[in-house]
Structure 1
Amino acid sequence: MSAGRGGTGRKGPLTQPGGGRNGTGASEASPAGGGIRKEKAGKPGRPGAAGRAAESAREVALDILVRVEQQGAYSNLLLNSSLQKSALSREDAGLATELVYGSISRLLTLDYVLDGFVSKGISKLQPWVRNLLHLSLYQIMYLDRIPSHAAVNEAVNIAKKRGHQGISGMVNGVLRSVLRAGELPVLPENISPEQRISILHSHPLWMVKQWAAEYGLDAAEAMCAANNEPPAASVRVNLTMISRDALLEQMLEAGLAASPSLVSPYGIVVKGGGNLALTSWYRDGYLSVQDESSMLVAEAVSPEPGMRVLDCCAAPGGKSAHMGELMKDEGYIYANDLHPHKAQLIADQAQRLGLECIATGSTDALLLARSLEPESFDRILLDAPCSGLGVIRRKPDLKWRKQPADVTSVAALQAELLQSVSRLLKPGGILVYSTCTTEQAENSSVIAEFLGNNPGFTSATFTSPVWQRVEGTALAAGEGLQLLPQHYGSDGFYISRLQRLL
């Protein structure tokens, strides 16, 4: 899981000149992005200290943004490594994190606004200058706790360090013109609803059109808004070691803002708790960091103690481990991944959690049916490779890296994988197909094709306790359930439960 965004308050688009606030009250941001999350900035009584710390955070963020653009680096991996090397405090690391993810997530909107103020166009600028304007405008438009004049002054100081007087003057002029402009972005009246959503919520137009066609305009806009919100921090409790209530009590006693997940009976949501993978609870195997939607997958598989279970594409091992916990570490789970180093991650997770029922292997999942006995597993999980468009809030780069052709190509692979591994399921067994995407070409279409070609299988999704819990919020998409990011503030996920007839 990528580093979460935190440490800063947010605001909507700038509505007053001179860097004024947007006038909304302090409230927790809603899953659909309708609210504002405010937090206090820095410590009182230390003039200048916050400015110096914020400058270093901005410079770290700027270096990351330039490398993401120039080298194609993944923001979450580069951010994690850069923060580990830096001497930033927790608060300043939170600001750098917010600036990186926020600037990438809001890229289209930021470019749209800046193109109206940069005479030769934002694309013609040097990469470091362009990204400096991005992160500065992001602060002005979206970060409530940073005064706009401070964002401008820090940008000018960085420009003076890295460039000549002309560049710092241009940066100063552009940003001060932004402050005088009033509410931004200013949208033309003659654009389509999809174009408005694309610009306002910073998503590729093709993506907005696709979601509008699949879910309707209102849902498409809610998806885009939700994708721009910071992801919630959630953990799965290892019930072989501790109950959810007991761990929740310990967290509350430690001063954490923790609450039971409404999505999964195994989950706890923690606000402002930092990196929970650095806690003793994680080290001792009491919990795993996992998105709430992802927790539903193992529950849908519903493995029982003593069963033989196959996890076809298992890395990094969260779902395999969850199944092992549900089985009370009794039975056998074969957790496979294409890459040996990722298979090792699964083994490491199992060891940390005290699970001995998980064996790991490394092969192409398309070849599993050749090396394993037919009809030899009671349960099979195919958490298929996918476009990942359900996890954009965690990996905002995906918006700009993916193209429609990517969906088409991976859907063909998914269909092939499902057909191949289905031979390994015992009569009466359950096969769960899941993805972390919202694209029906990869989800319900794959399942419809499979069921059409395999009359020996039937859908068992809507008799599952998982569906009974989320029914009324999640969507019934073909023969599976579809969670969208605005439903619970968790990842977009698709889960289809198939049973082989006797």
Structure 2
Amino acid sequence: MTESAQGAGPARLEAWNVLERVRHGAGVSEALSEAGKRSLSPADRALMTQIVHGVLRNQRYLDAWLEPFLRGELDPSVRDILRMALFQIGFLDRVPTYAVVNAAVEQTKTVAPRATGMVNAILRRAPSQKPKNVSLGVEFSHPDWIVRRWQARYGLERTRHMLWVDNQVPPLTLRVNLGRIARETVLAQLQAQGVRAEASRYLPEAIRVSGPLWLEDLPAFQEGNVTVQDESAMLVTWALDPKPHERIVDLTAGLGGKTGHILEKTQGEAEVTAVDLAQNRLSLLRENIMRLGYAHHVSIVGQDSRIFSLEHPKQFGRVLLDAPCSNLGVLRRRSDARWRKQEKDLGGLATTQKALLDAAVRLLKPGGVLVYSTCSVEPEETTDVVRKVLESHSTVHIEPVQDFLPASAFQDFTQEGFLTLLPGDLGMDGFFIARLRADVREAE
């Protein structure tokens, strides 16, 4: 590493590397995870993560801030350096402005030496000339199509709040395996490490962490008794209400967060199958289930859920489909998602979701329960999908999901039997959950 590169600081250097990977198509979580394997101090790792998410969440605003000072095309690598610097100057206060400018200049000497003078000049002038009188989309760094959709449905003030929520650092929420350890014991472990945390008011297994936490140092995590999961995602398993000795399938299971919750709810006494097509996700799912101590209690299938349903019709008493979606309910966590989606994508996603839900219905035994969920609250991906699929299955009906949720507070967010949490409701991620049941007579 050159002397100039070292002057930029390890957190900024790794943040720049992560942003470059994201720019070339990597997911932000994947890129951050890879960077986290390098020898960074906890403080540098935290700053790197803060800079990356901060730049992505505020990207449009940062570009509007830069625009008056640019002449012609800007090298994307240099733009990332400028975005990082302006984010630190405009949104953080831990490093003085002069130090941020100096670090950006030193980094530019390594990345694009010819641009060093330009970067220095821009960062000397820009701090006193922030954007003014900008649109909601620029102010909160969202694509105009999202702002337009939400404002038409929810009005100006609610939309402004949702946009603001998307740009906040999301809380870390832990799910405790209550069959093995008391929530109070985990809270005591966190307190012993000096971590600020409190019990959730809405779910008995959830803990909200408000301070920095290095999970690997937490005994409950080392022992497989704690998992990171937002409260709204935990509600999916509550809606499913899994029971011991049932045959249960988790379709498009991803990394196994909900599979693990099902196993915890049944203490490994249900016959659980997790299905996903992507081999890389299945590998991580196996690791996660092994850490929880349930490796011998689940069958993992690498297959398209639609094909799986053709081979196993009417064989499961509980079916969970947390469908692939636009992620528009969790933009505060997936800070790159807002820039990867376009409004026209919703139609294609809805087509896939309908096919997957139709496959999920095919798996249901008579009298069986199916839960359909998404981390999007867009009608095309939620209520429209459920209603369209039910038109083809007369022996499957909606059950009021609120009857299975752990707190009365959720009553205020249910309509026509569906749960819809908008981003920030009850401090949670945006989520949609529907619970369906096949009639006791033969399901179609």
Q: Could you tell me which amino acid in structure 2 is paired with residue 292 of structure 1?
A: E
Does 486-495 or 398-407 show the bigger shift? 486-495
Indicate whether 1:172 and 2:120 are aligned.
yes
TM-score by length of 1: 0.81
> 358, 362, 374: which one pairs with 2:298?
358
**Corresponding position of 2:288:** 349
Question: After superposition, what is the alpha-carbon deviation per residue over 1:450-478, rounded to whole angstroms, capped at 9, x for unaligned?
Answer: 233323122113442327534365353x5
Q: Is the 8 A contact 1:263 1:293 kept in 2?
A: no
SS of residue paired to 1:319: helix
Alignment of 1:450-469 (within 5 A): 450-466=389-405, 468-469=407-408
Preserved contact between residue 201 and residue 228 of structure 1 (Cα < 8 Å): yes
What do residues 211-236 of structure 1 show as CA deviations (whole Å, max 9, x unaligned)?
Answer: 22233322222221111111211111
> 2:162–2:424: 8 Å Cα contact kept in structure 1?
yes
Amino acid at match of 2:420: Q
Q: Distance in 1 between matches of 2:55 and 2:334?
A: 12
1:105-116 matches, within 5 Å, as 105-116=57-68
* Secondary structure of residue in 2 paired with 1:116: helix
Determine the C-alpha separation between the residues in 1 that align with 2:272 and 2:21. 40
**Pick from 71, 77, 80: which aligns with 2:30?**
77
8 Å contact from structure 1 (residues 277, 289) kept in 2 = no
Per the alignment, in what secondary structure is the counterpart of residue 458 of structure 1? strand
Structure 2 equivalent of residue 141 of structure 1: 90
What is the aligned partner in structure 2 of residue 26 from structure 1? none
Give, as a single letter, the amino acid of the residue that structure 2 aligns with 1:317: G
Q: TM-score, normalization: structure 2?
A: 0.91
Q: Any idea what SS the aligned residue of 1:269 has?
A: strand
What is the match of residue 99 of structure 1? 51
Could you say which residue in structure 1 is the equivalent of 2:422? 484
Aligned partners of 1:471 and 1:118: how far apart in 2?
49
The answer for unaligned runs of 5 or more in structure 2 is none
- 3-state SS of 1:441 partner: helix
Which structure 2 residues correspond to residues 406-445 of structure 1 after superposition, within 5 A? 406-445=345-384
Q: Deviations over 1:207-265 (max 9, x none)?
A: 11122223332222222111111121111111221122232233223332121123422
Match of 1:369 in 2: 309
Q: Matched residues, percent identical?
A: 36
The equivalent of 1:68 in structure 2 is 22
The letter for the 2-side match of 1:416 is A
Secondary structure of the residue aligned to 2:208 is strand
Going from structure 1 to structure 2, the CA distance change for 1:139 and 1:304 (only over 3 Å counts) comes to same
Q: Which of 180, 185, 188 is residue 241 of structure 1 equivalent to?
A: 180
Measured after TM superposition, the shift of residue 201 of structure 1 is: 0.2
Quote the Cα distance in structure 2 between the aligned partners of 1:314 and 1:463. 23
* Distance of 1:66 and 1:483 partners within structure 2: 33
Query: What is the root-mean-square deviation in Å for CA atoms of aligned residues?
Result: 2.2
Rounded to whole Å, the distance in 2 between the matches of 1:255 and 1:65 is: 31
Q: Matches of 2:266 and 2:201 in 1, distance apart?
A: 22
Mapping of residues 100-499 of structure 1, within 5 Å:
100-120=52-72, 124-164=73-113, 167-181=115-129, 184-187=130-133, 196-277=135-216, 279-355=218-294, 356-372=296-312, 374-466=313-405, 468-471=407-410, 474=413, 476=415, 479-499=417-437
Report how far residue 270 of structure 1 moved. Answer: 1.7
